[in-house]
């Protein structure tokens, strides 16, 4: 067949499929439109970083600014501070966020009593469904100088003086990690528990016959079997580290727990962007910072995915 005829056949085949699938294609269409409007147009909006965007003129008529905003950004100490805080907060949280669910799932799996197992598991992911506003409200009250945490610490003799734990930069990252762990461990453990449930029972039975003890069985069977699940979660965690790991809670925590006293450690890049953009209305400037944020996130995500694929043959795409 000639090239022309080949193309015509391909087109008519696609045309025929489209006609056969017209309902399906119509059903996909709203989703496609939604994605373009609410995901891809904002992505394109990142280009406003290179202009002096004026909402009244629109992007096409706004004056071109090149790298002006970026230069100003890199000279702003607050910007660098917010980047440092973002990594500091995220790294602290990610360490716990990866380890704790695995430990919890492994321990939960070892519980023989089914009722106890169910109770513990159900209780463990209730905090996940509580809003950050509520969690912040509670923990801010409790970590205050006159709050219950200090009350208990003093009466048990651990410390002489009550401290406003959240009102100084020092403990901010650790406390955010602790609270995030409390809130999300049970939830992320579900994924591991699902993977563990898929391990064939025969493997354990033959290990018992070979004389392997509880701990030995866990180390030699359970952990290796969930290795690929762990890798996927690690990729996702590193990839979303910019936003605070899988739970993406950095912005929530920074906005809700942050105040003028712990500012030095609590203001992250996302908060900087919200302040510059939504509060101060410096759109292009904030978008420039946002572009950096999105690029960082993209690089981390792709990097983590590629490295994992090279090392362990597991990857997301």
Site for another protein in 33-52 (CB under 8 A): 34-35, 37-46, 48
Query: How far, in Å, CA of 31 to CA of 208, rounded?
Result: 52
Cβ at position 311, least distance to another protein in Å: 20
Beta carbons of 228 and 290 less than 8 angstroms apart: no
Applying CB under 8 A, among 97, 102, 166, 186 the residue interacting with another protein is 186
233-252 residues near another protein, rule: CB under 8 A: 239-240, 251-252
Tokens representing 31 are: 């989703």
Rounded to 5°, angle at Cα 175 from 236 and 84: 60
* DSSP class of 51: B
111-130 residues near another protein, rule: CB under 8 A: 111-113, 116, 119-120, 122-124, 126-127, 129-130
Tokens representing 233 are: 């979660």
Write phi, then psi, for 137 (nearest 5 degrees): -55, -45
Q: Which stretch binds another protein (CB under 8 A): 75-83, 90-98, 165-173, 195-203?
A: 195-203
Cβ at position 40, least distance to another protein in Å: 8
Cβ at position 148, least distance to another protein in Å: 6
Q: Contact between 219 and another protein (CB under 8 A)?
A: no
64-83 residues near another protein, rule: CB under 8 A: none
Closer of 133 and 311 to another protein (Cβ) = 133
* DSSP class of 218: I
255-314 residues near another protein, rule: CB under 8 A: 255-256, 270, 273-274, 277-278, 283, 286-287, 290-291, 293-294, 297-298, 301
Query: How far, in Å, CA of 118 to CA of 296, rounded?
Result: 40
Query: How far, in Å, CA of 38 to CA of 214, rounded?
Result: 51
Cβ at position 3, least distance to another protein in Å: 22
Applying CB under 8 A, among 214, 260, 310, 313 the residue interacting with another protein is 214
Rounded to 5°, angle at Cα 8 from 6 and 9: 65
87-106 residues near another protein, rule: CB under 8 A: 104
Query: How far, in Å, CA of 208 to CA of 199, rounded?
Result: 15
Query: How far, in Å, CA of 156 to CA of 279, rounded?
Result: 44
Cβ at position 43, least distance to another protein in Å: 4
Closer of 174 and 190 to another protein (Cβ) = 190
Applying CB under 8 A, among 70, 72, 95, 140 the residue interacting with another protein is 140
Which residues partner with 51 through β-bridges? 64
Query: How far, in Å, CA of 53 to CA of 276, rounded?
Result: 14
Cβ at position 105, least distance to another protein in Å: 12
Cβ at position 251, least distance to another protein in Å: 8
Cβ at position 161, least distance to another protein in Å: 18
Chain centroid offset of residue 43 CA: 19
Closest CA to 233 of 179, 194, 280: 194
Closer of 45 and 171 to another protein (Cβ) = 45
User: How many other CB atoms sit within 10 Å of the CB of residue 150?
Assistant: 20
162-181 residues near another protein, rule: CB under 8 A: none
Q: How many residues bind another protein (CB under 8 A)?
A: 90
């Amino acid at each position: 067949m000639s090239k022309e005829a080949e193309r015509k056949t391909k087109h008519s085949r696609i045309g025929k499929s489209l006609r056969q699938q017209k309902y399906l294609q119509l059903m996909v269409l709203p989703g496609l439109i939604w994605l373009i409007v609410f995901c891809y147009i904002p992505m394109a909006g990142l280009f406003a970083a290179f202009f002096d965007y004026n909402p009244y003129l629109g992007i096409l008529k706004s004056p071109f600014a090149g790298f002006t905003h970026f230069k100003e950004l890199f000279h702003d100490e607050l910007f660098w501070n917010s980047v440092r805080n973002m990594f500091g907060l995220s790294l602290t949280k990610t360490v716990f966020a990866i380890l704790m669910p695995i430990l919890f799932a492994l321990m939960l799996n070892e519980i023989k009593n089914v009722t106890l197992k169910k109770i513990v598991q159900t209780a463990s992911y209730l905090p996940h469904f509580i809003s950050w506003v509520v969690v912040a409200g509670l923990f801010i009250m409790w970590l205050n100088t006159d709050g219950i945490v200090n009350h208990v610490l003093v009466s048990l003799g651990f410390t002489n003086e009550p401290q406003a734990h959240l009102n100084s930069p020092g403990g901010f990252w650790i406390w955010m990690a602790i609270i995030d762990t409390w809130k999300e461990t049970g939830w992320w453990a579900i994924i591991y528990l699902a993977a563990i449930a898929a391990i064939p029972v025969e493997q354990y039975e033959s290990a018992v016959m070979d004389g392997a003890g509880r701990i030995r069985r866990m180390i030699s069977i359970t952990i290796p079997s969930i290795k690929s699940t762990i890798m996927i979660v690690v990729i996702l965690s590193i990839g979303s580290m910019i936003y605070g790991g899988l739970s993406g809670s950095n912005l929530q925590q920074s906005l809700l727990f942050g105040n003028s006293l712990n500012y030095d450690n609590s203001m992250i890049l996302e908060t900087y962007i919200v302040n510059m953009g939504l509060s101060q209305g410096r759109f292009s400037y904030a978008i420039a910072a946002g572009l950096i944020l999105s690029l960082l996130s993209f690089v981390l995500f792709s990097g983590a995915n590629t490295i994992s694929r090279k090392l362990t043959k597991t990857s997301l795409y």
